[in-house]
Structure 1
């Protein structure tokens, strides 16, 4: 089943991250369990009708699922492409939450500090995609990838600034080159 990992303790431990606000960890844990309030899940619960399932990214997909929204939708997949470009890496990602996070953590470096810090960017990306989706659904705001990317950069820097130790890196430098702070080589 999408979003389900064979060991629930692993998904629990990955979702509840010390550098992440609890409301974001809750969203991620629900993503790992395929319990996010996406349109397909709301339809299965009888909250919305079958005619309301179309993806908010206006990509033409008939049903908004968690995997589609966060990882497959061409609109929101652009977020991951741009984040990877910002980090100076490229890859093809999994379309399942926990596998996607684990792959993201292994992109550019090793070590516990690196994994903690780079995963903050992943959590911020998930949160910003979810907020953009909700802004479209509830406020009819247009989805702008540039705004989502900017929000990811600011949010991840803020979370690291206030919760991680030794962040002596200003936001302008973070937005230009996060690799230095993440502890990975400047060029791959």
Structure 2
């Protein structure tokens, strides 16, 4: 369900907002950018989870969907309800960081594109 809602490049291409060939991950890894890819399997963004798991002292999670990953990650360290709530907070913070970084990289690429495009066609505006 998350794949349908998030404006990933795959979804934007599917809706005709981006050209079909422009659906590669902004990390530069070469894979098609879906929510599953960005948050779980991307060599750049997905590598965050092993670092966070070792930081909080829990086992690494190998789920294939975001919803399964959330459940496995938040229960991976066991413990009390307060501990699970803490793990949920950590998971949500990680997702926010990944999505924010993804958007920053996307905006940087777009601004470079528009800057170079405007520079080529400056006579048009005069």
Smaller-chain TM-score range? 0.7 to 0.9
Deviation at 1:44, TM superposition (A): 0.9
Structure 2 counterparts to residues 90-105 of structure 1, below 5 A: 90-105=59-74
Deviation at 1:118, TM superposition (A): 1.0
Per the normalisation by structure 1, the TM-score is 0.55
Superposition misfits of 4+ residues, deviation over 4 angstroms: none
Deviation at 1:34, TM superposition (A): 3.0
Describe the SS at the equivalent of 2:4: coil
CA contact (8 A) 2:40 2:64 kept: yes
Question: Alignment RMSD, CA only?
Answer: 1.4
Structure 2 counterparts to residues 100-139 of structure 1, below 5 A: 100-139=69-108
Per the normalisation by structure 2, the TM-score is 0.80
Describe the SS at the equivalent of 1:127: helix
- The one of 35, 41, 44 aligned to 1:66: 35
After superposition, the C-alpha distances for 1:6-52 in whole angstroms (9 at most, x for unaligned) are xxxxxxxxxxxxxxxxxxxxxxxxx3x63100000111111101121
Structure 2 counterparts to residues 12-91 of structure 1, below 5 A: 31=2, 34-61=4-31, 63-91=32-60
Distance 2:14 2:93 in 1: 28
Give the count of matched residue pairs.
109
Deviation at 1:133, TM superposition (A): 0.1
Structure with higher RCO (Cα < 8 A, 6+ apart): 1
| Consecutive unaligned residues in structure 2, runs of 5 or more | 110-126
